[in-house]
Chains A and B, each alone.
Chain A
Amino acid sequence: MHPAPSVILFSTLSGLGFGFLAFLGWGAPGPSGWAAFFMWGLGYGLAVAGLLASTFHLGNPKNALKAFTQWRTSWLSREAWASVVTLVLLAPVALSGIFGFGLPRLVGQLGGALALGTVFTTSMIYTQIRAVPRWHHWLTPVMFLTFAVAGGATLSGRVWAPVALLAVGAVLLAVWRVGDGAFAKAGQTLGTATGLDQLGLPSVLDPAHTAGNYLKREMIFVVGRKHAAKLRKIALLLASILPALILLLPLGLWGIALAAAIHLAGALAARWLFFAEAEHVVGLYYGARG
């Protein structure tokens, strides 16, 4: 799949933002005054920046509001609702934190749970797609949620944040291990795609068109695979191991900022791989396994 920067930025930034908001909401009332202002501001900033990035992926964004209509069937529509409801519900919690209104804890906890729910709906957009076997697995939501929890725990300075960061590494290893065999396990070949397996062993004789098209650009992306092994090591190091070690050093707020920045870079690398390594079954028609 084509690793579009808009979608990578959307899912990583909003994942981190909603992860942080989950901790802020659940931990409310946390710090007050300026400290609260900056923390809530960062959480909202990341989440909203991610959501805005996602609109750059749209071919016809003027209809964006219509995306709220199909929540009964569409995970993308559910995500639109979940994100907006979370942001609206947590707004009074944020203001209460900054100005000390003393809002009941329950509102923050509800908003915090919804924030993680939003990350879940994001992950389901990809998980539901059967035509991309690497994504069509329960480990996909586990990965998105682990990233959100680890990022949120890091930014909110929990003592167990290093453990959550190491869990990200473990989940990434599992995702790659299962993902590498997913396409073969789905059992689709050029033979099943054309039904010509009933006759013999088919292969491509002539392409259907000599130049590119939407399908090839969007779903038969192969550039990233060459460096996949290297990028996996980089993602593992940056998203998991390095920030976990930095948090163990007595660096205070600077340590948290450094760990979070490195973790975000690793998350971007991992998310790039999530798209670049995902093979769509339509590639079979073009003789590419992906």
Chain B
Amino acid sequence: MTALPKATEKRLGLVIDLDTCVGCQACVTACKGWNDAGIGLSDQDPYGAKPSGTFLNRVHSYQVAVPDAVAQVVAFPRSCLHCEVAPCVTVCPTGASYKRAEDGIVLVNEDACIGCGLCAWACPYGAREMDAAQGVMKKCTLCVDRIYNESLPEEDREPACVRTCPTNARHYGDFADPESHVSRLTAERGGYDLMPGMGTESTNKYLPPRKKGAGSASPLAPLLDVQATGIAGWLDRMLGKI
């Protein structure tokens, strides 16, 4: 059903820490790797001149000019935010796009998808990509086939991107529980929504990168002002007088 649930029991989602993310793209690869199994995420011309493919997670990198401080480079992972008011769900004409009442995960039932692309238009975040080979919409499933999968060891029952992140920049948990790891991180570090003006009330939160402090002179600066001593110093003084 493309009507949104009034409230969801759990609100599962991610916290992405922009302070610790180094932009290594491991989450992109792990996501593609896990979700490529089974029905798959197709690639077009992957080894050719114009490679293209379906990804559920992409990492951008931005430079930020910071007033009164050094400029910063910020790696920025972008994937589905599993919004509370998900505009991609209500536009769907077939009911293929839906938000689960039990845990708030936004999913696509590919058997009902007609590939009209309207949900991708409705999403402000570019979280949905149409698979060019299958003609149906693909999106982050929060690794719904991992998190409840009892055949996996318990430590693996979290999204592939979270499991693989070498700097612990991605955290998975239940935002409905105020004592959960993700809720506390959000409260302590000022977790925020992307494009709050879009009214999507996203579940996922981003933690801001720390300001790196006032810009200081280069560590090599003292080398520019070398004071010569001894014979070199005498020569320097004499030549300076001529």
Contact = CB atoms under 8 A, between A and B. Distances in A.
B121 A194 contact: no
Contact of A63 (B58, B94, B193): B94
A202 B135 contact: no
B198 to A, nearest CB: 6
A127 to B, nearest CB: 11
A214 B120 contact: yes
A204 B64 CA distance: 9
A199 interface: yes
Interface string A231-263: 000000000000000000000000000000000
Task: Give the interface SS of chain A, mostly helix, strand, loop or mixed.
Answer: mixed
Interface string B99-131: 000000000000111111110111111100111
A213 B3 contact: no
A188 B198 contact: yes
B66 A199 contact: yes
B192 interface: yes
A208 B23 CA distance: 10
B65 A200 contact: yes
Contacts of A130: 87, 122, 124, 198-199
Interface in A121-143: 125, 128-132
Interface residues of A, number: 59
A278 B59 CA distance: 25
A282 B126 contact: yes
Contacts of B193: 195
Given A76-B118, A195-B206, A211-B52, A218 B64 contact: no
Contacts of A280: 121
A187 B112 CA distance: 35
Contact of B92 (A64, A70, A186): A70
B74 interface: yes
Contacts of B206: 194-195
B211 A199 contact: yes
B124 A213 contact: no
B197 A186 contact: yes
Contacts of A186: 197
B196 interface: yes
Contacts of A66: 93-96, 112, 114
Contact of B59 (A73, A74, A208): A208
A282 B50 contact: no
29 contacts: A1-B121, A66-B95, A70-B94, A70-B95, A73-B92, A74-B2, A76-B92, A76-B118, A77-B93, A129-B87, A130-B122, A130-B124, A187-B197, A192-B194, A193-B194, A193-B195, A194-B62, A195-B192, A195-B194, A196-B64, A199-B208, A200-B72, A203-B62, A208-B60, A212-B50, A213-B129, A219-B126, A281-B198, A282-B126
Interface of B: 1-3, 18, 50-55, 58-67, 69, 71-74, 76, 78, 87, 90-96, 111-118, 120-126, 129-132, 134-137, 192-199, 206, 208-209, 211
